[in-house]
């Protein structure tokens, strides 16, 4: 009953309380009505759009079939200009063939980075660039090797993980080990005897992978282990299947001469130098960056010709020419897109205006601009 009793007004009369009654929804605005109609029209046309998409896909397939038929049966070239243009296009395609699939060979390259405490910051930066270039060249080579980076710790590792954003973690076909090069040699030999070890192709075509038969079973022969250093009295004549070739990863501007040779001799490892002096005349010192050594050996795996490999990789500013009487195989592909040219000054660094970006296709699908240095443990020949 209290709900029906009115409140007293100031003059003493009771005023009735307002009662709650349902109110009608406010009318929609013009914009809301337009939107509502559009939504309804969209829903009504859903099936029609579906049929239209199917029709377009069918027409696209028909166009592709028609284009394929045209390529198989090209129209005759009526004028000399058309025939010449077609010949020029064929010649350009022959000069730039599609990239062939890289083939893994049973051979390993080890970059020994156990000299971190002997280098300055700028030299470590150069070494990091050379390792990056070595990975890029090896991954794109016609015949690639297994690549190991040993003694990967200290300042060098910190640079890769911070400044270079850890991009090396996504690299395929390369292994970073904190242990020294002997640990890398052990792992490389084990890897090359597995199914992932690679097959005998390129320069290894026709080579035997067995050391003999015993009780009807074949065993893979362990290859040679060679530490490459310019101070070695021996010269490397060829690369062999299942071999492990160690490259000194040091950029020291020749402050620590003979360091790699002494390191190998202390461990009882055979040493050798690349046969640069047997094939080339140079207008400056025989100094190569780590990545140049890797690339030269990669070229040899494809060409089986040191002279041709040196001519393709040696920077032109070094003024290298083949010695008299040295010939190279004819009809082999040449390499386009040089990485840069070494300055003739003792520091041997690449000039800034000659640097080019490297595309790390198998790492993280991004463009990485690296600075390449040409100073490392020299692969040179005295005199």
Please, what sign has the CA dihedral across residues 135, 101, 357, 340? positive
**138 touches 298 (CB < 8 A):** yes
Nearest to 257 by CA among 90, 82, 85, 375: 375
Nearest to 112 by CA among 232, 254, 262: 262
Q: Token digits for 156?
A: 């060098």
65's CB contacts (< 8 A; 6+ apart) are none
Residue 258's H or E segment, with its range, is: none
Triad 150, 156, 157: Cα angle to 5°: 75
Residue 307's H or E segment, with its range, is: helix 306-313
Distance of CA 357 to the CA centre of its chain: 12
Examine the residue annotation and report whether 121 is marked as an active-site residue of this protein: no
Q: Assign residue 319 a region (left: φ > 0; alpha: ψ between -120 and 50; beta: otherwise).
A: left
Helix/strand number for the chain, H first, E second = 10, 14
DSSP 90-112: HHHHHHSPPPPPPEEEEEEEEEE
**151 touches 176 (CB < 8 A):** no
Residue found by looking up tokens 């047997």 in the block: 278
Q: Token digits for 188?
A: 């490389």
Of the candidates 252, 278, 305, 353, the residue annotated as catalytic is 252
Residue 59's H or E segment, with its range, is: helix 46-72
Q: Token digits for 308?
A: 């041709």
Alpha carbon of 382 to those of 218, 275, 286, 378, 379: distances in Å?
44, 12, 9, 11, 10
Alpha carbon of 217 to those of 191, 209, 210: distances in Å?
19, 13, 10
Catalytic residues, by residue number, are 252
């Amino acid at each position: 009953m209290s709900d029906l009793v009115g409140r007293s007004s100031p003059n003493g009369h009771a005023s009735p309380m307002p009662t709650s009654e349902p109110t009608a929804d406010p009318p929609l605005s013009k914009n809301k009505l337009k939107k509502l109609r559009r939504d309804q029209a969209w829903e009504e046309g859903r099936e029609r759009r579906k049929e239209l998409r199917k029709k377009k896909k069918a027409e696209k397939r028909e166009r592709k079939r028609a284009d394929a038929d045209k390529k198989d049966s090209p129209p005759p070239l009526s004028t000399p200009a058309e025939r010449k243009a077609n010949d020029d296009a064929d010649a350009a395609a022959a000069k730039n063939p599609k990239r062939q699939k890289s083939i893994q060979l049973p051979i390993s390259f080890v970059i020994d980075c156990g000299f971190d405490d002997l280098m300055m910051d700028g030299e470590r930066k150069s070494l990091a660039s050379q390792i990056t270039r070595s990975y890029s060249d090896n991954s794109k080579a016609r015949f690639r090797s297994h690549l190991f980076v040993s003694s990967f710790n200290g300042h060098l590792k910190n640079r890769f993980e911070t400044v270079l954003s850890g991009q090396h973690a996504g690299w395929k076909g390369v292994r970073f080990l904190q242990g020294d090069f002997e640990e890398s040699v052990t792992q490389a030999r084990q890897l090359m005897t597995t199914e992932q070890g690679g097959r005998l192709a390129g320069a290894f075509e026709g080579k035997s992978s067995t050391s003999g038969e015993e009780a009807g079973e074949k065993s893979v022969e362990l290859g040679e282990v060679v530490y490459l250093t310019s101070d070695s009295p021996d010269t490397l004549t060829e690369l062999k299947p299942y071999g492990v070739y160690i490259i000194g990863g040091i950029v020291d501007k020749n402050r620590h001469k003979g360091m790699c040779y002494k390191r190998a001799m202390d461990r009882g490892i055979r040493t050798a130098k690349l046969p640069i002096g047997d094939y080339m005349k140079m207008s400056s010192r025989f100094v190569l960056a780590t990545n140049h050594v890797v690339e030269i050996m990669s070229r040899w795996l494809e060409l089986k010709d040191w002279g041709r490999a040196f001519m393709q990789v040696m920077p032109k500013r070094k003024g290298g020419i083949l010695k008299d009487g040295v010939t190279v195989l004819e009809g082999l592909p040449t390499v386009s897109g040089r990485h840069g040219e070494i300055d003739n000054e003792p520091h041997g660094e690449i000039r800034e205006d000659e640097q080019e970006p490297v595309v790390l296709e198998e790492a993280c699908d991004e463009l990485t601009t690296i600075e390449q240095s040409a100073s490392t443990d020299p692969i040179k020949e005295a005199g």
